[in-house]
Structure 1
């Protein structure tokens, strides 16, 4: 069956178990565009609040290397290492806030979509991840075409926004060639902020659409065929054929134990061929007779045959046998309603035996 035919046959909504299993395996709806959008917002935050002051501070510190080079000794390897360490600290103090903001934005975008959890299945090596055939099929699948369309949209958006911005700012760029060089960083920062802001606004629609698409595709991929629904139901509730077979085996074992207990009975009450109840009465065991076996039709005949084989009295009483069959349970004392009738039978058997 081809993939298209298999997808067409998946007409049933995913069950709760199918959804839980997917989540446990790390198969979650995830929009790749949301972290990218969050990173763009992070860059905008950096350009707006961090870059102006940090860049100015870093520029002032690094300008010392140019304005006062005599203050830095390079007479030995130790001096070079100390200079490199000082330079690394200055650059790190500039980069750490930027990296922290960008990482925080990306992490927040992931948490916004799904609750974080560790799933070993996601990091387990799988051949289809590196298989050329699998990769080729993913590229030309519907999901691959959607990713290609999103890439085209992003490329076109960035290109158009950049061209429009540069055209609107071209006179400022040309004038900067004849103005104070110290104003160029401020101009570049202003243009970068406008560019990033425009890109962020333009990609909002893409991000919203991708969020909807990711959840729609995830739900569609989890759909089940009618056969899968039946198989899952069998797993949850048990295969009806297996359950019936197990129930039959349990009943057979119960009948065997019951028939094995008939020789211990004191007497049997029977409706000649349809019902039979074997009772045992010993004053030292219980205050009332105990049902050791009961059955109808073939089981009733087996009880009678076993009783006759072991010289156990069989008393034929159609109404009593029929009524007791519906109200007594094996290995339990008879209900009080039958005390009088059974006592009369016991008196008859004891009298006859004497």
Structure 2
């Protein structure tokens, strides 16, 4: 296992990263979500808690100071009081729940864009296997998670102790003073506690963010053989591609040979080169190359031309030059106009008036 990991020295390809994302395997920091939740609660404490507490306090004050207004004679009366308290509690908790949802979604979206992944909900035996479970607990990621949890408890505990020990004494003193001062003391203590928690979770979130991405990227690294296999798969098997190119050339050659009987003339040297041209004034302004080839292909072009009664002119320099500079299904370059025009004139001169129309 270690040898396999040591051999994974290559960076993951775009395809490997894309496949991992499609399976839900993305870098995700849980500590960043925890920090977002802490920040949401801090904003709730800072901007909503005083007003929400006062409103809830008024409801409870009205309930306990004026009990005669609330009858408890029937079940309907009990339900009415319960609904009244439920609405008051909902008004107290609604801003907090809304902020938790917004900050939680934002922390997830900023790390990775959400996408539906059915792989995450597919039943897997490894999730209920005790052996797999112990393996995950005592693995490196499991030890890291344990270390982060221990760090959070120790850091928050120690900092909280030194920062809040004086507030503890003030809270005890407030219990024996004017009751109206107790909410203010508690509110100040809660804000201070939240600042400490925010600093701790922010430190841990930054470290965890980079750790999770480093670990995720390391797990997706590939061996050199895996990279070669993926490139081969993406580009296709060389043997298959060579076979495909061979078939394409064969089909193009067959189409080219079928066009030879339509040619006006063929320019060739004795054995090595052959170029078949077609010229009809009504079709184009210049001769068009229907076929060209060397060696056996050139001999085949000559054979088909002779069978169709098409004139074959042997001109080695012209045949070689045209083969190098012309392409099939295109008109010849102007540099060959004069030489080819002379040959076409000879072809037309040898035909009868009726043949010249075709």
Residue in 1 aligned with 2:68? 70
Is structure 2 residue 34 aligned with structure 1 residue 36? yes
Match of 2:215 among 211, 214, 217: 217
Quote the Cα distance in structure 2 between the aligned partners of 1:351 and 1:104: 90
Quote the Cα distance in structure 1 between the aligned partners of 2:265 and 2:250: 23
RMSD of aligned Cα (Å): 3.1
Quote the Cα distance in structure 2 between the aligned partners of 1:71 and 1:171: 40
Quote the Cα distance in structure 2 between the aligned partners of 1:155 and 1:50: 28
1:52 positional shift: 3.4
> Scaled by the length of structure 2, what TM-score is found?
0.83
Q: Deviations over 1:258-305 (max 9, x none)?
A: 122223334322111110112334455445443322100121122223
Q: Deviations over 1:76-109 (max 9, x none)?
A: 2222222222111211121112222333333343
Kept in 1, the 8 Å contact 2:23–2:120? The answer is no
1:200 positional shift: 2.4
Quote the Cα distance in structure 1 between the aligned partners of 2:177 and 2:4: 67
> Scaled by the length of structure 1, what TM-score is found?
0.83
Residue in 1 aligned with 2:288? 290
Is structure 2 residue 267 aligned with structure 1 residue 269? yes
Quote the Cα distance in structure 1 between the aligned partners of 2:281 and 2:207: 83
1:318 positional shift: 0.9
Residue in 2 aligned with 1:246? 244
Quote the Cα distance in structure 1 between the aligned partners of 2:278 and 2:54: 103
Match of 1:58 among 56, 81, 88: 56
State the SS of the aligned residue for 2:73: coil
1:43 positional shift: 2.8
Within a 5 Å distance, the mapping from 1:1-354 to structure 2 comes to 2=1, 4-23=2-21, 26-114=24-112, 116-121=113-118, 124-127=121-124, 130-132=127-129, 133-164=131-162, 167-172=165-170, 174-175=172-173, 178-180=176-178, 183-234=181-232, 236-349=234-347
Q: 5+ unaligned residues in a row in structure 1: which ranges?
A: none
Quote the Cα distance in structure 1 between the aligned partners of 2:227 and 2:304: 49
Q: 270-279 or 342-351, which moves further after superposition? A: 342-351
Q: Rate the CA distance shift 1:72–1:289 in 2: closer, same or farther, 3 A.
A: closer
Quote the Cα distance in structure 1 between the aligned partners of 2:348 and 2:181: 124
Quote the Cα distance in structure 2 between the aligned partners of 1:247 and 1:107: 52
1:350 positional shift: 5.7
Quote the Cα distance in structure 2 between the aligned partners of 1:258 and 1:85: 89
Kept in 2, the 8 Å contact 1:157–1:199? The answer is no
Q: Rate the CA distance shift 1:300–1:59 in 2: closer, same or farther, 3 A.
A: same
Q: 129-138 or 243-252, which moves further after superposition? A: 129-138
1:231 positional shift: 4.0
Q: Deviations over 1:207-235 (max 9, x none)?
A: 22112212222332333333343344445
Q: Rate the CA distance shift 1:12–1:126 in 2: closer, same or farther, 3 A.
A: farther
State the SS of the aligned residue for 1:41: helix
